Amino acid sequence: MKSFAFLSALLCIAASLFAQEPMRTKTVTYQLDGVTFESTLVYSERGDSSKPGILMVPNWMGPTQSSLEKAAKVAGDQYIVMMVDMYGVQTRPQNGKEAGAAAGAIRSDRALMRARAAKALSVFKSEAKPLGLDTKKLAAIGFCFGGGTVLELGRSGAELDAIVSFHGDLLSPTLASDAAATQAKVLVLHGADDPYVPQSDVETFVKTMQDTEVDWQLVQYSGAVHSFTNPEANSDGSRYHETTARRSFAAMEALFAEIWR
């Protein structure tokens, strides 16, 4: 009995150490139209040797430590995540005002937004062989500004299995003409009380999508406003909501399980 107890203790310690193995990261540098970008690959060497890939566009603050931690959470042992730099290395917002200006510049030029997101996707695919990325299983997810970005990438006709927007912008200047070009299954996760993406935007999005053959879902969460997955959000209009964050990530995982397993 003592030997069995000792062996069990060793196995528990080993399992604990194994679970604490840090995620791997790799910075990938590339250029587009004279601008240099640095996106980050996040993955674990545990799990299957071939894994689906998730292109992740962070919120308007761009690449930050918190967005890197979110990428690691999403990746786990199952996926390879590329956290996308949409701004270029010369633009790293330090506050909301700078973030608003950086994101606004991209939002006002949808061709630029699509080109940068598409370039990131292309670079992600180019890293497939050394990482064990399965390029036949790709999704894009985004948060706030990033949510709007991945929806726009979908409207460009990008070859993706799924797109998931967390509290993202829903409208686009060309929504009516481009929505049907989306090839991916679309999942929109939205705070029902979001003042920055109001119900009028939701209604326009729903009406537009109903006129397409796109496989789409929109989930609204009661009591949630903007940025409900961001623990740092703490204002009236943008606030972390633990229950909604948990439910939204579960909804994302359910979609991935449906299409990839």
Residue 132 C-alpha from the chain's centroid: 20
Domain extents for the chain?
20-260
Task: Report H helices in the chain.
Answer: 2-19, 65-75, 96-107, 110-126, 128-131, 145-155, 175-178, 199-210, 242-260
**So what's the architecture of 20-260 in CATH?**
3-Layer(aba) Sandwich (3.40)
Helical packing angle, 145-155 and 110-126, nearest 10°: 80
Predicted structure pTM score = 0.91
Distance CA 123, CA 85 (A): 12
- Give the pLDDT confidence score for residue 261 in this predicted structure: 83
DSSP, residue by residue, 180-218 = GG--SEEEEEEETT-SSS-HHHHHHHHHHHHTS---EEE
Q: φ, ψ for residue 49 (rounded to 5)?
A: -75, -20
pLDDT in tens, 91-146: 999 999 999 999 999 999 999 999 999 999 999 999 999 999 999 999 999 999 99
pLDDT in tens, 183-205: 999 999 999 999 999 999 999 99
From the list 250, 230, 201, the residue with the least C-alpha distance to 69 is: 230
